[in-house]
Structure 1
Amino acid sequence: MSVLGYVRVFAVSTLLLNLLVVYLIVFATPKSLGNFRWHILTLHNFQMIFEFGIIYCEFPFLGLPAFVGFTVGLFTEFGIGIYWQMVFSSFVLFSMLSMVQLIVFSRHQAILPANHWLKLGKVARDLWIYSCYSLPAFCSLTMAVLLWSYDYHAALGKIENKYPYLSPFFHQPSSGQTNPSVTLVLWSLGRASIQQVLAYIPIQIFGAFVGTATAYLDYLETLNFYDGGRRQIDGPNGTLCFFVTCIAPYSTKLSALFDQIVGTAILCMTMAAMLDPKNGVPKFLHPLFGGLTVLTIGLAFAQNDAYPIHAARDLGARLFMFIIYGKGVWTKDDYYWWVPILGPLIGGFVGAWLYVLFIDFHAWSNREEDEVEL
């Protein structure tokens, strides 16, 4: 029997011991410990997932895939890539660390005197507990972004040799964007096909539709309290502009259109500069820089019409609001609805092509062979 076989036999033998620990935590732990025992149970469950995940699913442990190179566990047998295996390992590991922190915090709070300055109130303790339970998800998302730029392709190559039908999923770049302006710009630059454009834009609009519906249902009781259950577009109890962009009272459609062209042009010009491989911006920083760009545009250009800079974001939301408010969503502000759609589409082309014409075309001597991977 191989070493791996002995390891797995040992893992099976520990299953009964782990189940015994679960039984003791649930039924033999003093009830006076309260929620503390459930924190211990959660920690033990993640420990079991970690143990069996490493032994059965990811052997050897994917701490440094550039050094390990490949895995021989069940995940590999089912064609799950190393990237996703590392994200899984990160989530379980962060969960264990978070539970250890929560256990220490709970016991520390339990033994502190009532008047101690470190003693937290019930609300603060609950917030800390909820944050500990949600922390692994946020840490794993951060790890996923960082790992995306890591050199794990050599290890993926070993899997692709065994599962060649999975190769398109490993190295196929995507031109998908949530913003139709960016999608159309990529098409105009030859980095997206017309088929991708026709597929992405309806999905982008549908995504905004679903997102608006979710937000509306989440705030339904708040809206009922605000307007007494009578949806109104305008007036002191008007709520339409909570979900779609509306023009300021002192602004005109022409100035709002210009505002959207400028705002989206800045967005797409910045994105073009960031995605240009000659500028050397690390890929794991793209989400951060993109978010800061949108934040900056919002701080500078939100006064006139709330800076939609995103045709699908406004059109998808307006389509859902049409179900709730009726045709007034189209006639409000003298048929303003087309401005946050046309403005971003024009601005996207203006910004991206300004970068191409005035910067990119003048750097042919330094052009790299690699295409931008989106």
Structure 2
Amino acid sequence: MNPYLAEFIGTAILILLGNGVVANVVLKQSKGQNGDWMVITTGWGLGVAMAVYSVGRISGAHLNPAVTVALASIGDFSWSQVPGYILAQIAGGATGATLVWLTYLAHWAETDDKAGKLACFSTAPTIRKTGPALITEIIGTAMLVFGVLAIGKIGAGIPAAELEALGNVPPLLQALVATWWSPLLVGLLVVSIGLSLGGPTGYAINPARDLGPRIAHQLLPIAGKGGSDWRYAWVPIIAPLIGGVAGAFLYRALFSA
């Protein structure tokens, strides 16, 4: 499979399962209505793990422009592939969000909360202060990228012959996607970030996770929807890119040897 197609499919899976659990909790007359934050963070973590299992051996399962740019910044991924990966991730995010809309098609009109409907697609801060929101997203994404690379290091020691088959996977991610348990640990990392750091902003920590679904929210004929909150949209784009690069350089500084 083409790695760009893999990134598209993987990100679509990520958003389908991640935003799907939000819709399950938020939308009226859903079986999961009024579930709590633990349900949402668990659903997101499992969605991340399944996406990595699905395409990790093909593209490295970046599934996130912050990861892609971070790896390129430390020389572990070609800058020439960055635009294609990012476009695939954003398109995958929009597609996954569209599938969530279709899955819960009967529930949008039953739900009066316009902000809740938007939350099934993209993120928003609980307190409207740009500076704190930026800081939250930077810290959360730095932890994500640092943690992903650290998990990959734990899996080091995979036989060289097996790693040679992972031609499209950046070297720092090869050990991660070559083990059965590493994607699960990445999912648990996302659960941990959501439980510990996700309260202020909803932990986008991924520009494609927020931008792709926000575009879908803007374009889809969602019953009774409100605005797509484009005034905030730049924060979950810029902050994760900064945080991802910071997390990658911190990892490189500590483990360069």
Question: What is the rounded CA distance, in whole Å, between the counterparts of 2:74 and 2:58 in structure 1?
Answer: 15
Q: CA deviation at 1:213?
A: 0.5
Contact kept, 8 Å, 1:251 with 1:304, in 2: the verdict is: no
Deviations 1:46-104 (A, max 9, x none): xxxxxxxxxxxxxxxxxxxxxxxxxxxxxxxxxxxxxxxxxxxxxxxxxxxxxxxxxxx
Letter in 2 for 1:360: F
1:1-374 correspondence runs (5 A): 174-227=59-112, 233-234=114-115, 239-248=117-126, 250-276=127-153, 283-324=179-220, 328-331=227-230, 335-357=231-253, 359-361=254-256, 363=257
Deviations 1:285-332 (A, max 9, x none): 21011001000000011211110111101000011111147993144x
Question: Kindly tell me: are residues 226 and 330 of structure 1, through their superposed partners in 2, closer, same or farther at Cα, counting changes over 3 Å?
Answer: closer
Aligned counterparts of 1:272 and 1:319: Cα–Cα separation in 2: 30
Q: Which amino acid aligns with 2:227?
A: G
Structure 1: gaps (5+ residues): 1-141, 149-171, 364-374
Q: Distance in 2 between matches of 1:251 and 1:264?
A: 20
Give, in whole Å, the separation in 1 of the partners of 2:75 and 2:233: 30
CA RMSD in angstroms comes to: 2.8
Question: 1:174, CA displacement in angstroms?
Answer: 3.8
Q: What are the ranges of 5 or more consecutive residues in structure 2 without an aligned counterpart?
A: 1-49, 158-174
Checking the alignment, whether the CA contact within 8 Å between 1:267 and 1:293 is kept in structure 2 is yes
Per the normalisation by structure 2, the TM-score is 0.64
Structure number with greater CO (CA < 8 Å, separation at least 6) is 2
Larger fraction in helix: 1
* Contact 1:318/1:329 (8 A) holds in 2: yes
Q: Could you say if the C-alpha distance between residues 198 and 293 of structure 1 is closer, same or farther in structure 2, counting changes exceeding 3 Å?
A: same
Mark the CA change 1:309 to 1:233 in structure 2 (over 3 Å): closer, same or farther: same
The 2-side partners of 1:189 and 1:175 are apart by 16
Asked if the contact 2:114/2:226 (under 8 Å) is kept, the reply is no
Identity, % of aligned pairs?
Answer: 36
Residues 81-138 of structure 1, C-alpha deviation per residue, up to 9 Å, x if partnerless? xxxxxxxxxxxxxxxxxxxxxxxxxxxxxxxxxxxxxxxxxxxxxxxxxxxxxxxxxx
